[in-house]
Amino acid sequence: MTISTSTTQRQADAIVVGAGFAGLYAVHALRDKMGLDVVAFDAADDVGGTWYWNRYPGARVDIESVHYSYSFDDALQQEWRWSERFCAQPEILAYLEHVAERYDLRRSIRFKTRITSLTWDDEASVWVATTDAGDTWRAPHVVSGAGNLSVPKKPDFPGIEKFAGQVLMTGNWPHHEVCFTGKRVGIIGVGSSGIQAISEIAKTADHLTVFQRTPNYATPIGNELLDPAEEADYKANYQAIREASRNHFLGVPYQDAQPSALAVSAQERRAVFDDRWNRGGFRLFIDSFADILFDKRANDTAAEYIRERIRERVKDPATAELLSPTDYPYGTKRPPLETDYYEAYNRPNVTLLDVRTNTVKAVMPKGVELSDGTLHELDVLILATGFDACTGPLLALNITGRNGLRLADHWAHGPQTYLGLMSAGFPNLFMITGPQSPSVLYNMPLAIEDHVDLSCEAIAYLRKEGLGVIEPTPEAEQAWVAHTNELAQHTLLPESKTSWYMGDNIPGKPRRVLVYLGGAPNYRAKCEATVKAGWEGFSLTAAEGALA
Ligand code: NA7
């Protein structure tokens, strides 16, 4: 469908939220594979989603690009060329632009348009979407590709609006190049974004002050140019590689994990850690020992290994100490990957400040004031303070389901979903990589494809059976919530008190695990079994009314 600009025609078969990895594939699958009328919306002026907004220096993918890419069309994966092992943001954005072009997706997307509300019309069995362009759209199905890390955390620093310098957010970075030469730059936050940005900005800023609250276990990404012979090899074996990826906990074709860090000698363990450290990516985290995320004693061995490596790399022992996490297990906060991050602190122009006890009190016109009264004067203040992860993007859509039930109320004590795909009382609303699905603990493009395909399968099934509405039963939802919470209790995740995986980073957010921790293969098996059993746990009914 080419989008009509007429004010009278505001109907579609499906509304897609977003034009990132999820939204783009959803448009393609629903429109081109299923033949539905689709309209998509994105607040940005072009495609890209997270890769559109996160343009900060150093922004880079943490899963190898040959894996962090679509698999749905072999021609696409054969023709696209990645220059590096882990590509930087501009190249990933160029890839998504290419995908949009190749499948002619932009004609179905309304850019610079944000959905302001989504309301289920019980009588007509359709979703009614309003947008900030003042339009209203009606469609029986909504597929949300709103993303997991797309609503930046609101700055919680008093006085920030009075800062005389420039305030930048990693999650909403300017489109023009930002020059730091001759500038006193401050950055708050040392999560994945902060760590990537610090390593780059340290090279050009006159002075860089890092305000660190909780240190992270960052490990080398191991990026390098992609060897053409290796690329050819990947391409010759793509089908098997994708299959291996889909059969791995994290959605990458790693196969070297040993059962337990505690079952080998200290020397053997060290050799495994060294090997994974040198090979880079998430290998140390996910491909060293299978009990790292489950057994504290196993985890301690990896944590101590990383601390040792930090001490080797950072010249000043006090700074090394400050950069070394000690009060939460490795991997319970999302592990960042880095290139020369720790070496940045050996530079004379970089200062690390501990703001855990001496907290950021306020932003003053001249800089950042800490609670001990010290003022750190700055020209530029960068907020790398994270996102309202997983639930934030869905709640921002202002969704009201059956009988006036607001998603915000239904999820007041944490997300409630079935399979992380749908929520009871919110019919025909498919949440791509929604909370309580593997999402951010799975290779996102593959997780997205799995979920979009599952959503399409549900819609196709409804049409085949002459039905109009699918939604989870409250019982199935409760059981899934209990299952995801229980899985989390078997891991070390709840032991970190500052992890966005658990919602800890947003004041007032309920403390609940936001991801499915049973691993992508188990999750996919559960989805397959559900479908096979005739969409067990879902209620499938006729539509209440015809599309008005
Ligand atoms: P993260 O990982 O949530 O990191 C945010 C950082 O900002 C983290 O170091 C926070 O410290 C810090 N922060 C947040 N608020 C404050 C205040 N008020 N004072 C001091 N420090 C603060 O977000 P990222 O953008 O780095 O990464 C998100 C994901 O994007 C990443 O995992 C990838 O999947 C891509 P804290 O740890 O809470 O003490």
Return the CATH number at 487.
3.50.50.60
**More confidently predicted of 8 and 152:** 152
Domain that holds residue 400: 9-151+389-541
Contact (CB, 8 A) for 410 and 401 = yes
Over 60: is that where the pLDDT of 5 sits?
no
Residue owning the nearest CA to atom 29 of ligand 1: 192
With a 6 A CB cut-off, is 386 part of the ligand 1 pocket?
Answer: yes
**Which residues face 430 on adjacent strands?**
143
Residue owning the nearest CA to atom 23 of ligand 1: 386
Integer Cα distance of 367 and 96 in angstroms: 38
CA 284 to chain centre: 20
Note the pLDDT of residue 4.
Answer: 44
374 and 229 housed in the same domain: yes
Domain-embedded: residue 377: yes
> Which atom from ligand 1 is nearest to the alpha carbon of 190?
9
Element (H, E) at 100: helix 89-102
Q: Specify the pTM.
A: 0.97
Residue where a domain terminates, one of 332, 357, 383? 383
Residue where a domain terminates, one of 383, 399, 434? 383
- The whole-chain average pLDDT of the chain stands at 96
Integer Cα distance of 474 and 193 in angstroms: 38
> Pick from 42, 58, 317: which is nearest to 195 by CA?
58
Structure tokens, 511: 């403390």
374 and 393 housed in the same domain: no
With a 6 A CB cut-off, is 415 part of the ligand 1 pocket?
Answer: no
Domain-embedded: residue 491: yes
pLDDT tens profile 335-357: 999 999 999 999 999 999 999 99
190 and 243 housed in the same domain: yes
Contact (CB, 8 A) for 31 and 38 = yes
End-to-end, the C-alpha distance of the chain in Å comes to: 19
Residue where a domain terminates, one of 383, 407, 429? 383
**Strand blocks (E) in 174-284:** 184-188, 207-212, 219-220
What's the DSSP call for residue 32?
I
Contact (CB, 8 A) for 13 and 37 = yes
Q: What confidence tier does 546 reach under pLDDT thresholds 50, 70, 90?
A: very low
Structure tokens, 54: 């996160």
Side-chain half-sphere exposure of 9, counting CA atoms within 13 A: 11
68 and 147 housed in the same domain: yes
Domain-embedded: residue 169: no
383 Cα: distance to centroid of ligand 1 (angstroms): 9
386 Cα: distance to centroid of ligand 1 (angstroms): 4
Residue owning the nearest CA to atom 37 of ligand 1: 214
Backbone angles phi, psi at 103, to 5 degrees: -105, 15
Note the pLDDT of residue 545.
Answer: 58
Domain-embedded: residue 292: yes
Domain-embedded: residue 156: no
Integer Cα distance of 335 and 280 in angstroms: 12
3-class DSSP assignment, residue 360: strand
Over 50: is that where the pLDDT of 542 sits?
yes
Integer Cα distance of 533 and 321 in angstroms: 54
With a 6 A CB cut-off, is 82 part of the ligand 1 pocket?
Answer: no
190 and 336 housed in the same domain: yes
pLDDT tens profile 439-487: 999 999 999 999 999 999 999 999 999 999 999 999 999 999 999 999 9
Structure tokens, 139: 């469609």
CA separation (Å) from 225 to 61, 75, 84?
Answer: 14, 23, 4
3-class DSSP assignment, residue 94: helix
Note the pLDDT of residue 453.
Answer: 98
Q: What confidence tier does 156 reach under pLDDT thresholds 50, 70, 90?
A: confident
Note the pLDDT of residue 3.
Answer: 45
**Which residues face 15 on adjacent strands?**
39, 142
With a 6 A CB cut-off, is 68 part of the ligand 1 pocket?
Answer: no
Q: Count CB-CB contacts under 10 A for residue 87.
A: 23
Residue owning the nearest CA to atom 31 of ligand 1: 192
Structure tokens, 259: 């059962």
327 and 463 housed in the same domain: no
366 and 225 housed in the same domain: yes
213 and 345 housed in the same domain: yes
Amino acid identity, residue 129? A
Domain-embedded: residue 170: no
195 and 320 housed in the same domain: yes
> Which atom from ligand 1 is nearest to the alpha carbon of 355?
20
Total structural domains in the chain? 2
With a 6 A CB cut-off, is 360 part of the ligand 1 pocket?
Answer: yes
Domain-embedded: residue 364: yes
Structure tokens, 375: 């003022």
Backbone angles phi, psi at 184, to 5 degrees: -95, 110
Integer Cα distance of 390 and 394 in angstroms: 8
Contacts of 507 (CB under 8 A, 6+ apart): 156
97 and 138 housed in the same domain: yes
With a 6 A CB cut-off, is 355 part of the ligand 1 pocket?
Answer: yes
pLDDT tens profile 479-530: 999 999 999 999 999 999 999 999 999 999 999 999 999 999 999 999 999 9
221 and 235 housed in the same domain: yes
292 and 193 housed in the same domain: yes
Domain-embedded: residue 286: yes
> Pick from 421, 490, 71, 436: which is nearest to 253 by CA?
71
With a 6 A CB cut-off, is 299 part of the ligand 1 pocket?
Answer: no
